[in-house]
Structures are given as C-alpha cells and as structure tokens.
Structure 1
C-alpha cells in the first residue's frame, strides 16, 4: 500500500507554536526523513508559523514543499549571524530539494608573483597563501591570460618554473621575442628586475597612473643621458599601458575592492550577475543561475549567493547590491568568517550607482539571451521530433562515439542532453576491451550494451533518443 496514504495529517501550525522565540535554523523533513528545506530565522517560532498561516503569499515552490512536510527539526543558535553560518553549512552538505542552490564552481583564478629574488609571473587556482603575492580574483581564465600576456609584453617578467630558471645556460625563446628580460642568464640586474616587478604589482592593483608616471620619468632620464634605445622601449611600454587604461570602462577613485551583485528575473528565470572591481579596474563579470528559484525568490537568491559565493574564498572591502536585505546579519557574518569588516551597500551613489546600473543591465540581457536560447532549443527539438516521426515529448538524448589510436587504446564516450541543456555530470567514458583492434562495430556494440545494462539495473534512466556516430554498420551492430 502507498506509504503516503498511511501518512497521518501533519499539523504544522501546532508544531511551529512549540518552537522557541530564539534565533536558529529549522529543517523541514518529508517522507523517509528526507530533508526538504533548511532555513534560518531570528525568531524560530514566528518564522516557521508563517509557512502555515498564509500559504497564498508563498512562492509555488515553497507551497509544494509545505504540502510534503511530515516533521520539523530546529537548532537554536546564539545569534542570527551564527544561524546563517549553520544554515549555509547544512545546505551545502544536505542539498535540500527545495532550497535555492548554486552549483559548486571551481575556485577563481588569480595572478601570482612568487617570493623569489626574480619573482615568477603565473596564474593560480586554489587556497591563497601568505608566501606569495596574489592579485584577483578574476572572473575567468581569459582575463588572467590576457593580463599575463600584457605584463610579459610591457614588463618582461619570467613565467618559467624555478627548476628551469635555475638550470638555464642560455636565453629561451621568450627572451628572443622580447617577452622576458632573461634574468636566468643575468641579462638584467636584480635591481632593475625588481623595479619591473614593482610596476607590474602596481598595475595589477589598478594603479596604472602611478606606473605610467614612473615610466615617463625613467624615459626622460634616459633621453637626457642620450640612451635613446632604452627611452624607446619605455615609450612603447607607456603606449601599451595607456591603451589598456583607455579601454577600462569601469574606473574609480581610490583603491577599494568592490563586488557588485545584482539579481533579476524574467519569465520566472532568476539570474545573478557578479561584477568584480579591483583597485577601480573592472576585472570581469560572471552570471549565475540558481536552481529552484522563481521570481518571488529574488531576495532569497541574493542572500543564498552571498553566503555560498564567499565561503572559503576572499571577500572584497565592499559589496554593492540591488535588493534590500538584513545587512547587519551579513556584516557580522563576514566579520566572523574573515576577521574584518565588509561594507554592504544597497543604496549606492555616484560611480557605484553607475556600476550597479551596468550590472543590472548585464543580467537582464543575459537572462533574455538564455530564454531565447531555450526557445531555440525547444524549436529544434520539436523539428527533430517531427523529422524522426517520434511520438511523445523528446527530452533526453544520449550520444555515443568511439575513438582509438591506429586500432589501439580504444575508448568510447557517452554524452547526455536533458532538461534543456548538456548534463556534464552524466557524461561517461568506457575503456573497450576484448575486441579486434580497429573494429568500430564491435566497440560500438560493447559500449551501448554496457551502458544500457547499467540503466536496466537501475543506474540512470532511459533516453528518448540515442544518437550513434557512424553509419549502418555501427547502427546494426
């Protein structure tokens, strides 16, 4: 008999009235003790009671969650900021079905100058240490790569590993094409290299004007001393930096680090745009699309992003946002987590208001583009369904391909399209064994058989369409 039919009626309001008037975290549990939702509250009783009094004010997602609750658990904390920390930890570990979730992304890339007599310039991902100097974060690896290329061109800092540096006996190719000053073979004095490192560091902190002024002074000294070749090199560096400064469409006074976080929703799709400004220079934008969020969840999505995004990473001096939240809670949360104060600004003026409007426009355009792409994909799926004469809705597609090196080391891959996008987490790779080398037909037969034997046994679900790379031979195999 269905266990849901045997489930006694749950009186959520009576259960909520038993909770204390204290800050803490609550957990909504469903059938089989599955955690449906985790939330925080400054007053547990009032917050949980609100779910059962006026359900029409709740978002459709939360209304559906409330109908499935069979039990409520709570944990009292000393403050709401402490509850925020616990809530974030529980959401990350339990991944409740109805919470707004953000995908765990890779750590952000940084540019690093190593602690060395001749520091190395490189990109870096991972935990920040105090040993080296880090600059960032950048929103993508392309920005890091472009910055490193520029620094190589202007300041000619080395990018080789320390072991290579210590064992070179003649200059490398980068020295020949004027992308390195050749410190490994003493083509530049340590003092001069140190000046280049200092200027590169100032540039990465957004202090282009100081760097340009320093280079202009050095160029004039070289001209006065009739060292015209050196003066020409410095002139070219100044031109390159000036060009970069002119292309920075976000600039500001001071050296504060600021993140601009804006949330918006169009036709039920919620998106968040992160604009990173370091030292007044724009370091890039990144868009996030949280799971389980609707147009009524914009504030909750913003709060979830602030707790998720900065966990285990670096936090700027100031965060500019476009929605009203309980700022005091988050200021205290960041102070506890990072041992320093972070300003949260929901009413910016002057240049920060301009940055905010720019970020809001970016997220609106991104959501519109994503919705348009979704519509285009739906049209393509419908056309494919008609072309193949398929009945029912076409949603899940699995594609197979086989590869080998002259008959050896045969491997096969399966990629999955479902729910309107590629499902990278469901991709699979198969090592093919026990076949005649180069027999693509047997390889395809093996990978398809292995794949759907697993699905029949309960691992995964059957697709609506299977695509095989090949011809009739692969299909008939």
Structure 2
C-alpha cells in the first residue's frame, strides 16, 4: 500500500517564485489539471491563494486539492493572457470559468461574380467577396436575407442553379430577383441594386433613400410614372425598416455591448451586436464553473476566451467593446485584442448617454435570461430527482444517453445518440452513426451496430459511460443493448426501453427496464416521464435530421461518381453524348467505348456499375 502524499508546501514554493508576469497551472494528486491562471506578478497572485482571508467556497475547495503548481514566465502581461486562453481551451480545467458555446458566427456573404450573389455563410472568411456581420444566429441572417430580397432584387440562388436556367424562376415572378440568369436586367442596373444592398448592410439607409428619391423625381419628371412608383415603394419599405432597426443618432457605430448577471451560483453573459448603428440582435452565453466568481472576473474570462480565437481573424473583433463592468486588466486585454484585430480596439466601461443605455439594455436582458435559465435548470433537476425515485436508483443519474434509428423504407439508415446531464443537453457529446451492411429496415441490427460502435469506443478509453441508456423501442431493442453490453463486458449501466403504448399517444409510454418482468408505466403528469420524453424526442429529432441529410445527399449524387477512373470531365462527356443518365444506362459496352476518353475496360466498369444484377 502506497504511503499518503504529503500536503503541498506553499511556503517553500512561494520562496522561489518570480515576480514577473506569467501563467500558473494547478494540479491535484492524480496529476489532473485543476486551474489555469495568469498574473502580472506571479508571486503576488499565487500567494493570495494561500493567504488568510475570506476566500470563496470554490477557492477553498481548489486550494485544498492542490498538490503541484507549474509556472510559465512570459515577457508581458499580454503574452500571459494569450497563453492562458490557449491553455484553458486545450485543457478545460475543472475550476476555470468555461464557455460552452464557442461556435463561429454566421455572416451574409456577397460573392464577386459578374452578377454577385447574397448568401448565408458560416466559417473562416478566407474566400473572395465581402462579408457582413457577424450576426448572433442563423435565424438573424435568414431574416435579413429575406428582408433584402424584398428591398433589393439581388439574386440569392447558388451558382449551379443560376447557370442552368433557361427561363426566370419564381423569385423573378414575385419581384424578389431581377432575373440576371436569363438576361432580364443589364449589368449596370444589377450593379446598382448590389451597391444599394451594400450601402444598406453598411447602415447607410439614409443615403440609399436620398438617392432613390432623386431617381423617383427624375422618373416622374420624364413622365415614367411606372418606374417612379417602383422607386416610391422601395423608399417606403426602406423607411419602415429604418424605423424598426435604427438604434441611435450615431449611425456609423460598430461595437459589441457585453453585460454579465450572476445569481444562485450561475452566470449569464449577454452580447449585443451593433453594426452601422443597427442592432443585429443578441446572443446569450452561460459559462460553466461560475459559482463564486464576481462579474468582473466572469467578464474578463469571457472576453479572452470569446475573442482570442486560435486563428487570428477567425472571430470578429469590433472597433469598440462596451462593458458592463470595469476590468483590472482592461489595458492589457485591449492591447492583445488590438494585436489580434490588426487595429486599435477600445474597451469602454465608463459610459454615459446612449451608450450607457445600451449596456443597461444588455444587463437587463442578461438578468432576464438568467432567471429563465435558473427556473429551467431547477425544473430539470427536479425531473432528474423524480427519475431517480421512479426507477428506484440509489443515486441521482448524472448522465443519460438515448439511441434512436431513422430511415425511409430501409434507405440510408442513421442512428443517433444524444446525451443529457443535470444541466440539459450535452451537444458536444451527440453522435450520429451511418448504418451499413444490414438488411434494409432491420432496426434490431441497426441498433446493435450503433451500440457496438459507441461502447467499443468506451472500452478503448474514449468518453464517459452513461448511468442510464435509453433505447427508443421495446423489448427487442433492449435485448440488443444487453447483448452488446455483455459482448463488450460493460457493466453498471441501466438499460431502459421507451416503447409507445397501445394507442401510441404521448403520455402512455411503457418503460421496459433491464431485468424487469413487466413494463413500467408512469402517470402522464410524472416529471420523470417528461424527462424521458424530452430526451427521447431529442434523439428522434437528431436521428431524422441526419437521415434526411444523408438521403438528400445520396439522391443528389450520380451513380457514376463511384466508378473508379471516371472523373468529372469524363462523366460530363458521357452525359452530353447520351443526353442523360438514363440513356447512359441503356447503352451497351460498345456504345460506351465509342465516347472519347472511355476505354473498353472503363466502359465495362461503367456498364457493370449500372447493371449490378
């Protein structure tokens, strides 16, 4: 039996600790990372953890587990900030404040084609054309694109659709596109629409309106009343939009507004996006490990993790960020953000007038969102406790996984796995499995394959085991789960099948428990049943979405694409020569071999692929 480890000797460690800036990493006895922090003065900052004082419960728990501290000295506080951010994202320490949602924001993209296209875009902005945003959500982008169609007839169709038109589509008929695909608008006129759309996206609504007014008056003076009426309607629509979207007298303002709210050990960060004086909407974040942290600490952690992306330019940084609290490291953070953005970035917390009202608006929204989140979280916790009681478990389950199968008459079967914990869906752990090599429509085989792939990875040390494994199905599916768990020697997991009742109505589900003799039926008002339904419905949604995507992709793919040696040019040559895939399928080997670039051997492969029988 190994001897117990001696407690961490903080005095000896602090004696030799430098006073220079840097990053410190705290570890427990098992070598697991506990916390990553930065400091302008390492000796002073780390000493504060071991000094007598009114530390929070969280800090006391952290200090009690420290067995080892590592230090990295940097030249400047800014370098320490960058290193801390990278380490937090890579190591995900248990006691650091962590952002759960770190996805990139969507944009509106204007292509650089001869007749440019407006479209939804998410990802790195390395392509050609212009990007407008960021927008807080995909819905905000789609709403803006829908609005743009009503105001400016600029095409939004993809290039494949655009280049293969022989007549104008429905968008032209309802006056949401000017028909450049079939030459119904001149290049000059179309570029005018594009220029007005760009001015609108830049917040220059008044300039667009002034120009349209001049054109309307000129058309009226030339007695072209039909054109004047078009301009009049466009001006009226723009004015209505301006009334709805205008934020302040500073029409050129580009900034983010950030405020924090804390309550009951939880926190909410609210970010409003102001671009060109227009409010593009807001996004809500709920940082993890926020218990005991003050708003300034939360705000500092959020700013570094949110804006300091791994790749410079990946996360947009506006010229100014308005803050609900002042920060101790405000100057250092502004300097690092300026370096990342390649221009000066201001962090402003002492605000007056309209800008102070923006921050107050963000703070009010943060408080409201946090109250709703806490109510939902308390409700979810109650459901977990009710499930523990309903299933007679010794402890409250910490992790639930649910599997579902989706297909259309056996075509393109997809299995889904969704994960819930006491805070709700854990979307980073969601998985989909494309099911292959089974009899089409065999749900038992599909479930067996998906569970085998999931729990084989668990045996290899990947991921965490669930406390409860929900299966969307009855006794047959539950037996498949038992077989997989026995084959892989996975123990300690309760398997529960969620079978639809005799009438298949919600609220009448029967729970088929592993080892249970008869199905368990919970009352329709049971919070435990509501949790099971919520998880089951999420698994169903995730499965059917994946199946539809896979089916649509398969139906867009030509059967010629899987033939070795038949590249895009030869496929196009074949389709042009025969007039379509059906005619290619009707052709014999000799006919196929007559096409330029198709050898006899390749022709045989094509024929065999199209005639598998």
Q: Please, what TM-score do these two structures have when normalized by structure 1?
A: 0.91
TM-superposed CA distance for 1:51, in Å, is 1.0
Asked if 2 retains the 8 angstrom alpha-carbon contact of 1:61 and 1:292, the reply is no
Is the counterpart of residue 347 in structure 1 residue 345 in structure 2?
no
Greater Cα shift, 431-440 or 410-419: 431-440
Asked if 2 retains the 8 angstrom alpha-carbon contact of 1:274 and 1:285, the reply is yes
Instruction: Name 1:41's counterpart in structure 2.
Output: 39
Work out the CA distance in 1 between the residues paired with 2:120 and 2:440. Answer: 42
Note closer, same or farther for the CA distance 1:469–1:60 as it changes in structure 2 (3 Å cut).
Answer: same
- Structure 1: gaps spanning 5 or more residues: none
Instruction: Name 1:361's counterpart in structure 2.
Output: 364
Note closer, same or farther for the CA distance 1:23–1:383 as it changes in structure 2 (3 Å cut).
Answer: closer
TM-superposed CA distance for 1:204, in Å, is 0.7
Which of 175, 180, 189 does residue 178 from structure 1 map onto?
Answer: 175
Instruction: Name 2:518's counterpart in structure 1.
Output: none
Which of 226, 242, 245 does residue 245 from structure 1 map onto?
Answer: 242
Instruction: Name 2:216's counterpart in structure 1.
Output: 219
Note closer, same or farther for the CA distance 1:267–1:434 as it changes in structure 2 (3 Å cut).
Answer: same
Work out the CA distance in 2 between the residues paired with 1:348 and 1:71. Answer: 43
Greater Cα shift, 189-198 or 443-452: 443-452
Note closer, same or farther for the CA distance 1:175–1:29 as it changes in structure 2 (3 Å cut).
Answer: same
What secondary structure is seen at the aligned counterpart in 2 of 1:367?
helix
1:127-174 CA-to-partner distances (Å, cap 9, x unmatched) read 234842221111111111111111112110012334554554432332
Work out the CA distance in 2 between the residues paired with 1:401 and 1:9. Answer: 49
What secondary structure is seen at the aligned counterpart in 1 of 2:293?
helix
Please give the residue correspondences for 1:56-455 in structure 2 after superposition, counting only pairs within 5 Å.
56-103=53-100, 105-129=102-126, 131-162=128-159, 164-166=161-163, 168-248=165-245, 250-311=247-308, 312-325=314-327, 326-432=329-435, 436-444=439-447, 447=450, 451=454
Greater Cα shift, 92-101 or 398-407: 398-407
Work out the CA distance in 1 between the residues paired with 2:19 and 2:478. Answer: 66
1:168-213 CA-to-partner distances (Å, cap 9, x unmatched) read 4432332122111112333222222222212111111112122122
- Largest Rg, 1 or 2: 2
What secondary structure is seen at the aligned counterpart in 2 of 1:31?
coil
Asked if 2 retains the 8 angstrom alpha-carbon contact of 1:395 and 1:420, the reply is no
What secondary structure is seen at the aligned counterpart in 2 of 1:219?
helix
Work out the CA distance in 2 between the residues paired with 1:387 and 1:189. Answer: 70
1:272-317 CA-to-partner distances (Å, cap 9, x unmatched) read 1000001110011001111111243422221111112112322111
TM-superposed CA distance for 1:355, in Å, is 0.6
TM-superposed CA distance for 1:353, in Å, is 0.8
Work out the CA distance in 2 between the residues paired with 1:398 and 1:130. Answer: 39
Asked if 2 retains the 8 angstrom alpha-carbon contact of 1:207 and 1:279, the reply is yes
Asked if 2 retains the 8 angstrom alpha-carbon contact of 1:265 and 1:295, the reply is no
Greater Cα shift, 313-322 or 274-283: 313-322
What secondary structure is seen at the aligned counterpart in 2 of 1:296?
coil
Is the counterpart of residue 50 in structure 1 residue 53 in structure 2?
no
Work out the CA distance in 2 between the residues paired with 1:346 and 1:422. Answer: 34
Note closer, same or farther for the CA distance 1:236–1:439 as it changes in structure 2 (3 Å cut).
Answer: same
What secondary structure is seen at the aligned counterpart in 2 of 1:6?
coil
TM-superposed CA distance for 1:430, in Å, is 4.1
Work out the CA distance in 1 between the residues paired with 2:393 and 2:31. Answer: 40
TM-superposed CA distance for 1:456, in Å, is 6.6
Greater Cα shift, 399-408 or 101-110: 399-408
Asked if 2 retains the 8 angstrom alpha-carbon contact of 1:109 and 1:141, the reply is yes
What secondary structure is seen at the aligned counterpart in 1 of 2:108?
strand
Note closer, same or farther for the CA distance 1:238–1:100 as it changes in structure 2 (3 Å cut).
Answer: same
Instruction: Name 2:547's counterpart in structure 1.
Output: none
RMSD across aligned positions (CA): 2.5
Asked if 2 retains the 8 angstrom alpha-carbon contact of 1:261 and 1:322, the reply is yes
Instruction: Name 2:14's counterpart in structure 1.
Output: 16
Work out the CA distance in 1 between the residues paired with 2:164 and 2:426. Answer: 46
Asked if 2 retains the 8 angstrom alpha-carbon contact of 1:331 and 1:344, the reply is yes
Instruction: Name 2:26's counterpart in structure 1.
Output: 28
TM-superposed CA distance for 1:419, in Å, is 2.4
What secondary structure is seen at the aligned counterpart in 1 of 2:321?
strand
- Structure 2: gaps spanning 5 or more residues: 309-313, 481-613
Work out the CA distance in 2 between the residues paired with 1:310 and 1:456. Answer: 37
Note closer, same or farther for the CA distance 1:226–1:275 as it changes in structure 2 (3 Å cut).
Answer: same
Note closer, same or farther for the CA distance 1:450–1:91 as it changes in structure 2 (3 Å cut).
Answer: closer
Q: Which has the higher contact order (CA 8 A, sep 6+)?
A: 1
Note closer, same or farther for the CA distance 1:379–1:45 as it changes in structure 2 (3 Å cut).
Answer: closer
TM-superposed CA distance for 1:447, in Å, is 4.7
